[in-house]
Structure 1
Amino acid sequence: MSAIYTLSISGFKSIRKVDELKLSNLNVLIGANGAGKSNFVAYFKMLSELVEGRLQVWASIQGGADRILSYGVKETSALTTSVRFGDNGYDLKLAATVDDAFTFESEMLYFNGPYYGVTRPNLGTGHAESNLKKELKQGTSKKVASYCYDAISGWQVYHFHDTSDTAGVKRLCAVHDNEFLRMDASNLAAFLYRLQQESPEVYSQIRKTVRLAVPFFDDFVLKPVTLPTEEQQIRLLWKQHDSDYAFWPSQLSDGSIRFICLVTALLQPVPPSTIIIDEPELGLHPYAITLLGALIRSASKRTQVIISTQSVPLLNEFEIEDLIVVEREQGASVFKRLNQKAFDRWLEDYTVGELWEKNVLGGRPSR
């Protein structure tokens, strides 16, 4: 598994500087509104776009380099980051240009080998888009480049908050769009249809888990429709107990739809290298949140999971050592790991969520 071992970031939004933050298989960010949790999640989206050669488009959508660099280009001239996947790693430094875009001041690989020790293959400077994919094809460090590219391109930032009438998860999607679950679950019906055909055990597990939180739910009704263009499309229909009537996704509550998306993401048979979810508890019933905690713990045994949350019930499902406390100090986001032993006596009388609520853990919760 290409898990992230350590992460260093400086100059990215509210993250002025974080050095070698250690990440485990399960990482739960807690902190008040505005502490920087969402910026941490956005970092992963940036890097996944960057390695695919879409940095400038992503930066433009964000509002340009001045909106991305910590407190603007007058205070921060460059964004730097280092990611370590054990013996392999990827380093870069992005400088702002006069047209509010980015240029690579440096882009390097990292490898700590058994024979020559640490080497740092240079991928160039002055380019507008990453050279990592070029290194895969014609470089002298193809193995290291491949490892880093596969790890970064393999992680997925999920965002299931949009459950409006026009949300992609409620609309028709192409049946062939089923290779992976998209970040907004817009291809959920196609992905579930594929699991139903190719991984019936996983599909059955998803169905049973959904029924625990949505008792009236029985099964999905996944029937491809062939259009005049001969393209097959599919919609997320479903049925309830003791009925064969196919309901539309709009006839499920927003929380139910989000829970279905979360269950599918966390139980998928071949998970991303790292799963990142911002506030997955949004709109869920307390019992569904308890189930979600169990699903997250289980998923972390198969892949790396990073979530941010402000839910006391969800925190109760984790250990102190799983937490990363995010706070603002002098205007910048600070990330802290906690020592489990320091809270052993507290845990005799209180749950993890209660300790956070009482501000014993830091990252003062919102009320």
Structure 2
Amino acid sequence: MLQFIGTKNYKNLSLLPPVELNNLNIFIGSNGSGKSNYISCLKFLRDCLTTIPDESRGVTSFEDAVSKLGADRILDNSVKSPARVNFEYCFSQNLSPGEPCDDKFSTMLTLTLFVDRKKNKVIISREFLFGGQNLNEMDPGPSPFYYYKFHDIEIGKGAASVFDNPRQNSIIHLKPLDNIPTNSLGLTTLPKLLEYSKYSPESTPAYKRRRDLVDFISQWQFYNANNMDLNQIRTSEPKIGGSDIYLSTSGDNLALVLENLIQQDIDFEDSINQAMKSILPKTRRIRPIRSGRLSLTVEWYFEDIKEPFYLSDMSDGTVRMLCWATILHSPVLPSLLVIDEPELGLHVSWMRILAEWIKQASRKTQIIVTTHSPDLLDHFTDCLENVYCFYSEDQTHFTMKTLSKEMLSPSLEEGWELGDLYRVGDPNVGGWPW
């Protein structure tokens, strides 16, 4: 599980000390309060590890990812260039959803970028991967175990922990590595660095830990309701045979994802049909079918109506709910699911249903949801400890805080719900621009 992220000198977001996440995380805050910047930090890390380098232009996956993040504009405007931007990513190795992270072994990736606006330059100036307990505390106790330290004393040089005898996990020493690039993340270059060294992967603890982290981060999926293209979803007829199990950001592969998940899990078709019955009770069956010889489309059957409806016949909100149901009821949920403003275009009566889908999915994986909807927030009143407010004390730099029942108990006892308090700008909840 992603335990927390921390930032320093990154745009308007100040996350030191960082705030720990849960399996379910609901982000609220005014426009421009840092929610999107937080999510961009996560996309940046995933893109560094998953983007295919453009060798024809000589662009690495890191360079492509930092360009998407904002290039030299990632530096806080109040900080004079050149300067350093710091990121911390902490991962709990507690694998059971719902269990607390306290005193569990965690792994931390710390990344420092050197940013020079005059030269339009962004390079990696330091990267550490280490593990230990209570890494979010000021005094973590015993010294952490370092998998590697790159660019620590000198740019381009570093060291990795190596076993004297890997079969017995004997004494570990930090051994030097050279020619470490400053335009690629160490998590991606480590295998090649070891290939050209005298250290075998079996003797290097970082090798397996790096593989586990890359596998975990590569699964992260990001959705924004504003990016869902309803016209493409309605008209696209994806080709049979694709292996898609996650909905694309636009949603255009919906029919193919439904087809693959139904083939993969015998209970998924019933699950998706029950989900749609909760919003349209007369729904009888939804199914992907062949459209021509090599394509797929979606049929929607209702009680007492023989002929099927198609997505082109359904309202915008109904199509959106089918997309959220496909994402949240999937039997193969990603390791982290991030959803921006899922309430867009939905009827208020469906907010309770959507909130319940989100809660159910968070029992199986980690979820981050951003929202501006009081109607959706009403249905998270029972889990205030999972709601995070982005706020600013100086109207320039933003951080985040968690809500609690104790903080809001007088209002809750009077019958107020979380959305009510958000709607009227209760200062204990926050999330307003003033």
Task: Kindly indicate whether residue 106 of structure 2 is the aligned counterpart of residue 106 of structure 1.
Answer: no
* Cα contact 2:228–2:250 (8 A) shared by 1: no
Tell me which structure has the larger Cα radius of gyration: 2
The residue aligned with 1:82 is 88
The residue aligned with 1:303 is 365
Equivalent-residue separation in structure 2 for 1:337 and 1:184 (angstroms): 31
State which of 293, 299, 309 in structure 1 corresponds to 2:355: 293
State which of 101, 104, 114 in structure 2 corresponds to 1:95: 114
**Percent identity for Structure 1 against Structure 2:** 26
State which of 65, 69, 91 in structure 1 corresponds to 2:75: 69
Give the RMSD, CA atoms, in angstroms. Answer: 2.8
Task: Kindly indicate whether residue 338 of structure 2 is the aligned counterpart of residue 340 of structure 1.
Answer: no
Matches within 5 A, 1:22-171: 22-53=20-51, 54-61=61-68, 64-71=70-77, 74=80, 77-86=83-92, 87-96=106-115, 100=120, 102-112=122-132, 117-123=144-150, 125=156, 126-135=181-190, 138=194, 140=204, 141-164=206-229, 166-167=231-232, 170-171=235-236
Equivalent-residue separation in structure 1 for 2:121 and 2:302 (angstroms): 51
1:22 Cα offset (Å): 0.6
Change (3 A) 1:341 1:263: same
* Cα contact 2:261–2:268 (8 A) shared by 1: yes
Task: Kindly indicate whether residue 418 of structure 2 is the aligned counterpart of residue 352 of structure 1.
Answer: yes
- 1:212-244 per-residue CA deviation (whole Å, 9 max, x = no partner) reads 1134543334123466xxxx3323443333334
State the SS of the aligned residue for 1:21: coil
The residue aligned with 2:163 is none
State the SS of the aligned residue for 2:32: coil
Equivalent-residue separation in structure 2 for 1:153 and 1:264 (angstroms): 20
The number of equivalent residue pairs is 360
Equivalent-residue separation in structure 2 for 1:360 and 1:158 (angstroms): 30
* Cα contact 1:109–1:144 (8 A) shared by 2: no
- 1:154-191 per-residue CA deviation (whole Å, 9 max, x = no partner) reads 22112233454543564122331423333333322111
State the SS of the aligned residue for 1:245: coil
Equivalent-residue separation in structure 1 for 2:342 and 2:274 (angstroms): 20
* Cα contact 1:95–1:102 (8 A) shared by 2: yes
TM-score normalised by length of structure 2: 0.75
Equivalent-residue separation in structure 1 for 2:399 and 2:405 (angstroms): 19
For 1:100, the aligned partner's letter is: N
Greater RCO, 1 or 2 (C-alpha within 8 Å, sep 6+): 1
Change (3 A) 1:164 1:121: closer
State the SS of the aligned residue for 1:316: helix
Equivalent-residue separation in structure 1 for 2:359 and 2:369 (angstroms): 11
For 1:135, the aligned partner's letter is: L
* Cα contact 1:357–1:364 (8 A) shared by 2: no
- 1:289-333 per-residue CA deviation (whole Å, 9 max, x = no partner) reads 110111111111111111111111211222221111111332112
1:257 Cα offset (Å): 1.5
Unaligned runs of 5+ in 1: none
Change (3 A) 1:351 1:180: same
TM-score normalised by length of structure 1: 0.87
The residue aligned with 1:362 is 429
> Greater shift after overlay, 43-52 or 214-223?
214-223
The residue aligned with 2:101 is none
- 1:69-89 per-residue CA deviation (whole Å, 9 max, x = no partner) reads 332874573332111112222
Task: Kindly indicate whether residue 331 of structure 2 is the aligned counterpart of residue 269 of structure 1.
Answer: yes
